[in-house]
Every structure is written in structure tokens, then in C-alpha cells.
Structure 1
Amino acid sequence: MFTGIVEEMGVVRGLEFPSGPEGDAVLTVEGPVVTSDVRLGDSIAVDGVCLTVAGVDGAVFTADVMPESLRRTALGGLTVGARVNLERAMPAHGRLGGHIVQGHVDGVGALVSRSPGERWDDLVFAAPSALLRYVAEKGSIAVSGVSLTVTSVGSGSFGVSLIPTTLEATVLGALEPGARVNLEVDVVAKYVERLMAGGSSASAVGGVA
């Protein structure tokens, strides 16, 4: 489990598709903070996607990305040199500083607009309607692994405001309109819907491991 509090911005050092463009991928990322105590098999959220560490070499780690993850997230579009948000799994004795984030991305959205303020930016993201049903004003959402409070919800979009720390410490600070982002809605909302339906039908969305 994660909290959506990004620990550092890592740098993509490689993205290979050993089985071809329709298969899996091997992602290589440099991140000195998250690799400081990492072990094989540990979980690291990369732009909000929970990945298992398959290899470590100093400040660089590699992870296998399954085809399902590539289909449901924006990881397949990463390029060498791109910055990504990184967070290690929360320890049992840690603080839940953001909200409960599983690292199981529900879908991909896109930045529609950003309006700079004196010390903050207001951002609007387009999102699939199947996800927006779980998004509520003043509720929580993870955008590329960043825990954010929803400021508004429209017919096909939602808005958030970014404080100076978020602008400086995450990739959202430099995001340009049109950029794709990974979205994970509040897991509690999905469970509530499931329970109210009596467990008779599958949820409208599904995450990835």
C-alpha cells in the first residue's frame, strides 16, 4: 500500500520490450532515495503504478511491466530521460500522510488546462466517465501517484489545486496540457458500490497490479 506522498522524482534510464511491442516491458529507473534500502521483490510505485523490483544496481532499479499494466496505464509511453514520481510502499509503522493508494491504476486521464496562481496552480484533467462516478468534490484521487484533493467535478473532467511543494517535488509541476496521467480513484468508493449492488455485478473499473 502507498500513501500518494511522492518521495522523489526518478529518471527513466531504459524501457525495453523483449517480447515485442505488444508484449511485456522492462523498465529501468534511477532513484537514489527509493533504492537506498530496496530489496529484490519490494514494491515501488512509478507514476502511481505498483511495480515489483526485479533488479538493483546502485541507485538504479529495474521492474517488469506486464502487458495488462501497459494497456491500462501511461507507462508504455515513457521515454528515456523522462521524470517519474517514485514512492516506496508504506511501512506498517509509517504515517498515512495522503490517502490509501494501492498502486492499481484504474485508467488514464489527460491534462486539459492549468491556471497559475500566485503560489499554486489549478489543473483540470479529463477522465473517463466510468471513473468520474467515483470522484467527489473534496474527495481524494491519485494522479500519477500523487495524492490530491478534488476541487471540482465536471461532466467529463475534475479539477485539483497544487501547492508549491507538489509543484516542485513531483512531475505534475511541469506537466503540459495534453499529457497523459495515471488515475487511481478512491478504493473505498468502489467497495461501497460493490456492496450496495449486493456483489451481483462486477465493478465498472478494474486496477492493475
Structure 2
Amino acid sequence: MFTGIIETLGTVTGITKNGSNVQFDIASAITSELKVDQSVAHNGVCLTVVAVEGDCYSVTAIDETLKKTNLKSWATGKKVNLERCMPANGRFDGHIVQGHVDQVGKVERIVEQDGSWLFDFSYDPNTGNVTVEKGSITINGTSLTCFNSKNGTFTVAIIPYTYEHTNFHELAVGDEVNLEFDIIGKYIQRIIRGYAD
């Protein structure tokens, strides 16, 4: 389990295709603290460390993950938000984040407001995912509060610290982001709607 509080940025240094899977090599400030089999969220996607060498480590994404996330568009030099799993005795600073991306969204508008930024996002509402006004949303692994919550759109406000210490400073209009909707909202939605036949 994660909290959506980004620890550091990593940089994609290598991409290797193995059948339908892709191995990503990542350089980061926390590499020396990682070990094989450890789970790390990459832009909100929980991936398992499969190798550690020097200041780089490797993770593998399967075809299903590539299809449902923005990992399919990663290139070398890409900055990635990183978060290790929350320790059992850790402080819960964000919200419950599973590292299971529900769908991708798109940056529709970025507005600077005297030192902070407003980001408008859209997503396909036909998947059944919803946001709640002043509720939690995870964008590229970052725990945020959404507002202007409508069917298929919402807004978040980004403070300077978050802007600089996550990959929000690299986002541009039209970019895809990974969205994980609030787990409590998803359970309520499932109870109300039931299962499709």
C-alpha cells in the first residue's frame, strides 16, 4: 500500500522489450536502499524491483500494464514519480493508494496563479470511475484533492513544492497521466452498481 506522497524523482535510463513485456531501468537517489522483490510505485504504478546495479534498478511492466497506463509512452530521460510502500508503523500523510491505475487521463489546461498552478484533467467517464468534490485522487502517483468535479473532468491545485518535487513541472496540455480513483469511492460505486453481466 502507498500514500501518494512522492519520495523522489527517478529517471528512465534504459528500455528493453522482452516479448510483450518491457523492462525499464531507472536511476534514482533511493536505488541504494532498494532490494530485489521490493514494490515501488512509478507514476502510481506498483512495479517489482527485479535487479539493482549501481545507481540504477530495473522493473518489468507486462502488456496489460502498458495498455492501461502512460508507461507505454515512456522514453529514456523521462522523469518518474517514485514512492516505496508505506511501512506498517509509518505516518499516513496522503490517502489509501494501491498502486493499481484505473485509467489514463489527459491534461486539458494548466493555469499559473501567482506561484501555484491549476491543472484541469479529463478522463473517459464510461469506465464508471467518478471523482467527489474535495475528495482524493491520485495523479501519476501523487495524492491530491480534486474540485470542479464533473462527469469526466476535474481540477487540482498544485503548490510550488509539489510542482518542483514531482513531475508536474514537466506536464503539458495533451499529456496522458495515470489516474487511481479513491478506493472508498470505488467500493461504494461497486455496491451501488453491482457487477455487469
Pair in the same fold by TM > 0.5: yes
Kindly provide the amino acid, as one letter, of the partner of residue 196 in structure 1: I
The residue number in structure 2 matching 1:123 is: 119
The Cα shift of 1:194 comes to 2.2
Give the distance between the partners of 2:190 and 2:179, measured in 1 at CA: 20
The question of whether the paired residues in 2 share the 8 Å contact of 1:32 and 1:60 is answered with no
Matched, 1:175 2:137: no
The equivalent of 1:161 in structure 2 is: 157
Q: Secondary structure at the match of 2:169?
A: helix
Structure 2 letter corresponding to 1:27: F
Q: Give 1:190 deviation, angstroms.
A: 1.2
Moved over 4 A (4+): none
User: Aligned residue for 2:89?
Assistant: 93
Correspondence for 2:195: 201
The counterpart of 1:26, out of the listed 23, 27, 46, is 23
Shift of 1:119: 1.6
Say whether residues 1:7 and 2:7 are aligned partners.
Answer: yes
In the aligned structure 1, how far is the partner of 2:179 from the partner of 2:34? 25
Deviation at 1:186, TM superposition (A): 0.5
User: Alpha carbons of 1:192 and 1:154: their partners in 2 closer, same or farther (altered >3 Å)?
Assistant: closer
1:202 deviates by 5.0
Q: CA deviation at 1:154?
A: 2.8
Work out the percentage of aligned pairs sharing the same amino acid: 39
* TM-score, structure 2 normalization: 0.95
Structure 1 residues 90 and 17, CA gap change in structure 2 (3 angstroms): same
Distance 2:46 2:152 in 1: 26
SS in 1 for 2:146: strand
Amino acid at match of 1:125: F
Is the Cα contact below 8 Å between 1:194 and 1:202 reproduced in 2? no
Question: What SS is found at the alignment partner of 1:188?
Answer: helix
Aligned pair count reads 197
| Distance in 2 (alpha carbons) for counterparts of 1:16 and 1:202 | 37
Pairwise CA RMSD:
1.5
C-alpha separation in 1, matches of 2:188 and 2:134: 18
Do 2:10 and 2:82's aligned partners in 1 also have CA atoms closer than 8 Å? yes
Find the residue that maps to 1:168 and give its secondary structure.
Answer: helix
Structure 2: 5+ residue stretches without partners? none
Tell me how far 1:131 sits from its aligned partner: 5.3
- Partner AA of 1:172 in structure 2: F
> 1:133 deviation in Å?
4.2
Q: Which is strand-richer, 1 or 2? A: 2
Conserved 8 A contact 1:107-1:183: yes
Report how far residue 156 of structure 1 moved: 2.8
Task: Name stretches of at least 5 consecutive residues in structure 1 with no aligned partner.
Answer: 204-209
Q: Which amino acid aligns with 2:140?
A: S
**CA distance, structure 1, for counterparts of residue 190 and residue 151 of structure 2:** 23
